[in-house]
């Protein structure tokens, strides 16, 4: 799965397996991943998959993401534009956002894999929201969030 440069083929990772792995990892393990050399690759793949997992709908909006805790205290900034039933993401925000979500890398992983609740993160101060608070409450429902594979199937 990885090569001699330390990169991994993130496109081969099943979303349910990824969600399960995030749910089973300690915060320290997640922090190491999000502060290490694979951070850009992990975040990039998540936003690529966000485009694929967008459910569509009548909303049109620009969502900015600020993911803190990068190497040297840096942060990543991403933009998701939802319009005309599609989602397009970019690591170069260009439009004025309807909402900006700011959270640490570990919390970002937990949120996008369904291992943490957005409202609970907001209430505990782990998720900061600037802009349209009511719209931000709808964001998780706009995407198919992978559920951790448990090995058993429901009837």
Instruction: Please give the share of the chain, as a percent, with pLDDT higher than 70.
Output: 86
Q: What was the pLDDT predicted at 150?
A: 46
Superfamily of domain 12-142: SCP2 sterol-binding domain (3.30.1050.10)
Q: What was the pLDDT predicted at 92?
A: 95
4-51 pLDDT per residue, tens: 445 566 666 787 888 888 999 999 999 999 998 999 999 999 999 999
Give yes or no for residue 153 having a pLDDT over 60.
Answer: no
Give yes or no for residue 100 having a pLDDT over 80.
Answer: yes
- Strand ordering across the sheet containing 76-83: 86-90, 76-83, 61-68, 99-104, 128-131
Q: What was the pLDDT predicted at 149?
A: 46
Q: Are strands 61-68 and 86-90 parallel, antiparallel or unpaired?
A: unpaired
Report pTM.
0.84
């Amino acid at each position: 799965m990885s090569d001699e440069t330390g990169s991994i083929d993130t496109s081969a990772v099943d979303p349910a397996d990824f969600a399960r792995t995030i749910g089973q990892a300690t915060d320290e393990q997640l922090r190491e991943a999000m502060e290490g050399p694979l951070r850009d690759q992990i975040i990039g793949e998540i936003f690529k998959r966000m485009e694929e997992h967008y459910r569509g709908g009548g909303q049109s909006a620009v969502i900015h993401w600020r993911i803190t805790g990068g190497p040297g205290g840096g942060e990543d900034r991403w933009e998701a534009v939802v319009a005309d039933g599609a989602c397009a993401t970019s690591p170069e925000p260009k439009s004025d956002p309807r909402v900006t979500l700011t959270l640490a890398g570990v919390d970002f992983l937990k949120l996008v894999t369904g291992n943490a609740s957005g409202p609970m993160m907001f209430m505990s101060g782990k998720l900061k929201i600037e802009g349209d608070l009511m719209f931000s409450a709808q964001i998780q429902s706009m995407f198919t969030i992978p559920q951790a594979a448990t090995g058993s199937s429901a009837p």
